[in-house]
Amino acid sequence: MDVTPAPARCRFCDAPLEHVFADLGMSPVANDNVPLSQANAMEPFFPLCALVCAQCFLVQLAPFETPKPLFREDYAYFSSYSTSWLEHCRRYTEQMIELLGLDASSQVIEVASNDGYLLQYFVEQDIPVLGIEPTANTAQVAIDKGIPTRIKFWGEATARAVASDTPADLLLGNNVLAHVPDINDFVEGMRIALKANGTITMEFPHLLKLIALNQWDTIYHEHFSYLSFATATRIFEAHGLRLFDVEELPTHGGSLRIYACHSDDPRQRSDAADELLERERAAGLEDVKTYLDFGARVVQDKRQILEFLIDLKREGVSIAAYGAAAKGNTLLNYCGVARDFLDFTCDANPHKQQHLLPGTHIPILAPTAIRDSRPDVVLLMPWNIKDELMQELSYIREWGGRFAARSPELRLFS
């Protein structure tokens, strides 16, 4: 009798998933920081394996079971703790107001609005907004700022409730499309809530950059999907929506901002959209071999990271980290880097301080710990904001301290 389990199915097109993109072993949930009181408790680990669909080329996590939801009421990620991200959002607001002619008669809806980090800028311009945010603690921060917010997950059901009284002129989502397990329900919800002539913008890390720059540490359990522009186009078209423009952004190591409308909207597709589709094809994103080759590069990178850190420790160098970012936890757990390499990490978010990193149990302290302990090297875990952090922490040069960050290989910066 054949006892081979059936392959997982693609979360978009339902084709069987038979090809591994990157297998990062067993890992804890990346944003599940451990309270000090639970330091000696058993900690769950789950498979962290990304697969690629040979039919639609959606890269996605293999299905796994978890005893509790990934996005909980006490979610620790607050968007407002990065000044460069806030500036990015302020500029986006100005751009959308001008591009779409938004005013007091318009309606802006943000999916996964977090702590109001972006909608606050529309509120300042007296433009009506509504945030949709499933995590109660971050949503409450937005509500306390005076930003109307519903504590809900986005999908068809929520969209129908929204569309009945506040359909969107602008419907946006930043770094959320990759986070949803049911991408079809999510995109169908956007179609339902969008006005006939409305505009959708979504930002997400670009799969082309992930592959080109070896950004495997952006894979973690809360990221269910990893998207190219071509695959996003297929998904939106399946739900009566059309991608008509795209911008390439530097955020999160290289992201896309896609622009979508209803399929019968007269707006023409831009040259930028056509050019990006062609560039993705030329880079091999429509060829399974491109995805299979990536896994071997991940293993090579792990070895380089370990050699780099081992060499520093052999020289007697003290190393602290900065950031309790999800990408950092993927790297540390996959590479097996714990307190034998890093004394502690720091994070500006007080909700993360006085906890331990998941899996490695490296202590998370306030940023003042760096000045107090004067480490020889500060490892910048959120390498996507490396320049911002190097400026913030420039005082480590007072004692000859140096920085380390992935760029894309892990290396030292003076």
Contacts with 9 (C-beta within 8 Å, 6 or more apart), sequence order: 15, 16, 17
| Residue 229: Cβ-neighbour burial (10 angstroms; 0-12, 13-18, 19+) | buried
The letter for the amino acid at 406 is: R
| CA count, 13 A, side-chain hemisphere, 26 | 8
Q: How far apart are CA 219 and CA 328, in angstroms?
A: 10
Domains 79-288 and 312-413 fall in the same CATH topology: yes
In the sheet that holds 194-205, the strands lie side by side as: 149-150, 129-132, 108-111, 168-174, 194-205, 255-262, 241-249
pLDDT at residue 65 in the model: 63
Please give the DSSP secondary-structure letter assigned to residue 403. E
Residues, the chain: 414
Q: Across 263-325, where does the E strand assignment appear? A: 319-322
Q: How far apart are CA 178 and CA 154, in angstroms?
A: 13
Averages of pLDDT over each 10 residues, the chain, 414 residues: 66 97 96 95 95 98 67 50 85 97 98 95 97 94 96 96 94 95 97 98 97 97 96 98 97 95 97 98 98 96 98 98 96 98 96 96 98 98 94 97 96 96
pLDDT at residue 64 in the model: 72
Which two tokens mark 88? 């990015």
Q: How far apart are CA 318 and CA 343, in angstroms?
A: 8
- Per-domain residue ranges of the chain: 79-288, 312-413
CATH topology of domain 312-413: Rossmann fold (3.40.50)
Q: How many CB atoms lie within 10 A of CB 118?
A: 26
Q: How far apart are CA 403 and CA 380, in angstroms?
A: 7
Q: How far apart are CA 16 and CA 55, in angstroms?
A: 9
Q: Please choose, from the candidates 100, 314, 65, 90, the residue with its C-alpha nearest in 3D space to the C-alpha of residue 194.
A: 100
CATH class of this structure's domain 79-288: alpha beta
| CA count, 13 A, side-chain hemisphere, 159 | 17
